[in-house]
């Protein structure tokens, strides 16, 4: 296999393999600009609040540059285009219409209406899941430099996790989520960042890490497998809007949505730990109830402390 050799130290040799650095020729098919805006809007309406996927205004600015500025850096940035295409794929999962595909049989020379029965409609095969074309293009661009991961790689993996999960591809979602979690560890996102970091950057890193944690727990629980994040590993506060400068607030959705999602996921992790131990105490029902009561109490307190805008009364329907 071909390779480049770099001498970074007299006693250290670093190999850079071509499959990590090669950039094959590829042609992409992006949607028209109005439809691109619609897909981004759909994605943000239906799934933007629950997690943090990217900085909103920065993403929109880069998308505009991709479409409106020929030869821009965005139009040549494969990592950015990969992320953009997965967002389009996710947005299309919430579009409730499809482009019709009509197959007509052979016709005769008879005037219209006289030989109507001779025209046959062929049954079209089932269309692929929404967003598939965009996601396949994104995967063709995705290359993960495991020795030098970045925050953008984690954002891409989080998006790929949710899209795969939405298609019921739970094993693929679990793999993407696990890689994202490990990259969080490598970049130290689960640790408190230095005070020298700008407030915008600190909040962004925090929310990306918590999103990775929630997705990792969601996908691992579905399969009954261990998550990549250990319980109690994350040393971060909950997301907050209070530390942001006014001009940075539009980069995020309200922190309350993600905060309650994190709290619910942490309780789920605690419940899963209890369930793992249940087999050893299943014959002692009173002891089992005693052990489960703190989790149930936390859930009741969580529901009671929900912000008014997020409360839902199941009995009354609102």
Task: Summarize pLDDT for 52-99 with one digit per residue, the tens.
Answer: 999 999 999 999 999 998 888 988 899 999 999 999 999 999 987 666
Q: How far is CA 305 from CA 259, 299, 309, 311, in A?
A: 12, 10, 11, 9
Q: What is the pLDDT of residues 217-241, one digit of tens each?
A: 999 999 989 899 987 889 999 999 9
State yes or no: pLDDT of 24 exceeds 80.
no
pLDDT of residue 17: 36
State yes or no: pLDDT of 6 exceeds 60.
no
Length of the chain in terms of residues written: 318
**pLDDT, averaged across the chain:** 82
- Whether 115 is in a domain gets the answer no
Confidence band of 286 (pLDDT split at 50, 70, 90)? low
Confidence band of 150 (pLDDT split at 50, 70, 90)? very high
- Whether 86 is in a domain gets the answer yes
pLDDT of residue 292: 75
Q: How many domains, the chain?
A: 1
- Whether 109 is in a domain gets the answer no
Range of the domain at 66: 13-96+131-275
- Between 72-86, 114-128, 189-203, the lowest mean confidence (pLDDT) is in 114-128
- Whether 119 is in a domain gets the answer no
CB atoms within 10 A of CB 151: 17
- Whether 301 is in a domain gets the answer no
Q: What's the CA gap between 79 and 72, in Å, rounded?
A: 14
- Whether 177 is in a domain gets the answer yes
Q: What's the CA gap between 174 and 1, in Å, rounded?
A: 31
- Whether 103 is in a domain gets the answer no
- Whether 125 is in a domain gets the answer no
């Amino acid at each position: 296999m071909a390779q480049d050799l770099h001498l970074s130290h007299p006693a250290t040799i670093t190999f850079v393999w071509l499959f990590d650095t090669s950039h094959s020729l590829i042609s992409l098919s992006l949607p028209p600009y109005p439809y691109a805006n619609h897909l981004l809007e759909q994605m943000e309406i239906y799934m933007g609040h629950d997690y943090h996927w990217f900085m909103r205004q920065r993403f929109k600015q880069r998308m505009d540059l991709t479409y409106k500025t020929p030869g821009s850096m965005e139009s040549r940035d494969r990592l950015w285009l990969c992320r953009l295409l997965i967002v389009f794929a996710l947005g299309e999962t919430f579009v409730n219409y499809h482009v019709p595909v009509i197959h007509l049989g052979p016709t005769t020379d008879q005037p219209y209406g006289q030989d109507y029965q001779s025209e046959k409609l062929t049954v079209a095969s089932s269309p692929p899941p929404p967003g598939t074309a965009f996601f396949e293009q994104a995967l063709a661009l995705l290359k993960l430099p495991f020795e030098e991961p970045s925050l953008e790689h984690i954002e891409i993996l989080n998006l790929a996790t949710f899209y795969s999960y939405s298609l019921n591809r739970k094993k693929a979602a679990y793999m993407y989520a696990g890689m994202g979690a490990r990259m969080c560890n490598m970049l130290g996102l689960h640790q408190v960042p230095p005070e020298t970091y700008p407030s915008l950057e600190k909040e962004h890193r925090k929310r990306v890490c918590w999103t990775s944690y929630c997705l990792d727990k969601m996908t691992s629980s579905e399969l009954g497998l261990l998550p990549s994040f250990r319980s109690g590993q994350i040393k971060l506060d909950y997301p907050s809007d209070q530390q942001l400068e006014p001009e940075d607030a539009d980069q995020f959705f309200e922190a309350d949505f993600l905060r309650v999602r994190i709290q619910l996921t942490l309780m789920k992790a605690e419940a899963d730990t209890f369930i793992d131990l249940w087999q050893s105490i299943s014959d002692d029902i009173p002891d089992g109830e005693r052990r489960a009561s703190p989790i149930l109490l936390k859930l009741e307190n969580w529901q009671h402390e929900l912000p008014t805008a997020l409360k839902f009364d199941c009995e009354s329907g609102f």
